[in-house]
Amino acid sequence: MSTNVGQVIRCKAAVAWEAGKPLVIEEVEVAPPEKMEVRIKILFTSLCHTDVYFWEAKGQNPVFPRILGHEAGGIVESVGEGVTELQPGDHVLPVFTGECRDCAHCKSEESNMCDLLRINTDRGVMIHDQKSRFSINGKPIFHFVGTSTFSEYTVVHVGCLAKINPLAPLDKVCVLSCGISTGLGATLNVAKPKKGSSVAIFGLGAVGLAAAEGARIAGASRIIGVDLNANRFELAKKFGVTEFVNPKDYTKPVQEVIAEMTNGGVDRSVECTGHIDAMISAFECVHDGWGVAVLVGVPHKDAVFKTNPVNLLNERTLKGTFFGNYKPRSDLPSLVEMYMNKELEVEKFITHQVPFSEINKAFDLMLKGEGLRCIIRMGA
């Protein structure tokens, strides 16, 4: 049992003071958890492109000073009023979206978009009292998507924590709390390719490669990777990608190229870039009659999707997904078990590791497009 229960904890956190400026390791004060909240000790966190996106704050509301981070693994330090399913010592994955288990979405078998705990990138405070649990010399520091894992301790709503097998190595399974699950679920839960089918994956970053991994697990016979960066093609073979298309190599739209390669189109496609042209191509490259395209990438807020309605009338299906349609509390523990049973590899997504003191190096690696996931070791 922690000796800090009910007390403020002083610890190190990487604070983003302003957009695009290097994070600064500061001593912060982390308040105890309030009603339905849990304070956890973060052991390992990973850098996801979403962190970089909101750190740069080029197309969003700048919310600073802020503690970023949302892909992580940790141990429960203490729990607030009303928390019954978690206790100190439990191993957990914090998730940027939640599962309250009471709203219409949580009660639906078809949705994972919780009304209470759905991602809110502008909210820098806790839901319970609209206050931050972080401060420096009495000045509040804002939260990020309810997780803020770039801190040795953080406070999270209980509905955004998945309790997992304590034997699972947190320095590996922490990557399941965002990008890997998003891509994997987009394929397995939404696209649902049949054994022997063809799948096109647009974007071969971590999420796209996780989508390819899902296609491989499902038994797809052709997995076509589409990316503007030819350097990604060799790595993608490890994730089951069998063929590659670089749109820059062709004068015609890439959807036409894929249709010619596959005798009319692929059975399934998964779009993981967020670029509107790639989204349209992903939809238009699926076969009429049965093709299903799934959109994963987050587009620019002003982007507009345009296609001929005949593409829909000809029995192509367009779907979207959020966090791979996984309900965090209900479904993530079973993904961890897939890893423990060697049915799912996560090590191949982890290309770098840095100590917490060098967290800015992880940002540099991502900005240069080097590697997939960089694990940040807290307390180092």
Dihedral angle of Cα 357, 98, 54, 38, to the nearest 10 degrees: -40
- Residue 103 is a catalytic residue: yes
Nearest-5° angle of CA 176, CA 177, CA 182? 75
Q: Which of 106, 272, 285, 374 is catalytic?
A: 106
Q: Which of 26, 56, 118, 377 is catalytic?
A: 118
Q: Which of 11, 29, 66, 70 is catalytic?
A: 70
Alpha-carbon distance of 67 to 23, in angstroms, equals 9
Q: Which of 66, 97, 100, 147 is catalytic?
A: 100
Tokens of 75: 């141990």
Q: Which of 26, 49, 123, 275 is catalytic?
A: 49
Q: Which of 45, 50, 187, 273 is catalytic?
A: 50
Nearest-5° angle of CA 74, CA 79, CA 85? 85
- Residue 160 is a catalytic residue: no
| Residue 300 CB neighbour total at 10 angstroms | 10
Amino acid letter for position 172: K
Q: 357: which residues sit within 8 A by CB, 6+ positions away?
A: 25, 380
Could you give the angle at which helices 359-367 and 49-56 cross, rounded to 10 degrees? 90
Q: Which of 11, 114, 272, 374 is catalytic?
A: 114
- Residue 157 is a catalytic residue: no
Tokens of 354: 């840095």
Alpha-carbon distance of 323 to 99, in angstroms, equals 12
Backbone CA torsion sign across 202, 205, 211, 212? positive
- Whose CA is closest to 145, among 163, 160, 164, 158? 160
Could you give the angle at which helices 276-284 and 254-261 cross, rounded to 10 degrees? 30
- Residue 114 is a catalytic residue: yes
- Whose CA is closest to 101, among 42, 176, 157? 157
- Residue 373 is a catalytic residue: yes
Q: Which of 29, 34, 37, 71 is catalytic?
A: 71
**Residue with the two structure tokens 């996984």:** 326
- Whose CA is closest to 25, among 39, 11, 8? 11
| Residue 66 near residue 43 (C-beta atoms within 8 A) | no
Tokens of 180: 């890997």
- Residue 106 is a catalytic residue: yes
- Residue 105 is a catalytic residue: no
Helices (H) and strands (E) in the chain, counts: 11, 17
Alpha-carbon distance of 273 to 313, in angstroms, equals 26
- Residue 91 is a catalytic residue: no
Q: Which of 160, 178, 285, 374 is catalytic?
A: 178
Q: Which of 268, 271, 373, 374 is catalytic?
A: 373
Q: Which of 101, 103, 275, 345 is catalytic?
A: 103
Q: Which of 11, 37, 39, 48 is catalytic?
A: 48
- Residue 49 is a catalytic residue: yes
Q: Which residues pair with 15 in a beta bridge?
A: 24
- Residue 118 is a catalytic residue: yes
Please list the active-site residues. Answer: 48-50, 70-71, 100, 103, 106, 114, 118, 178, 373
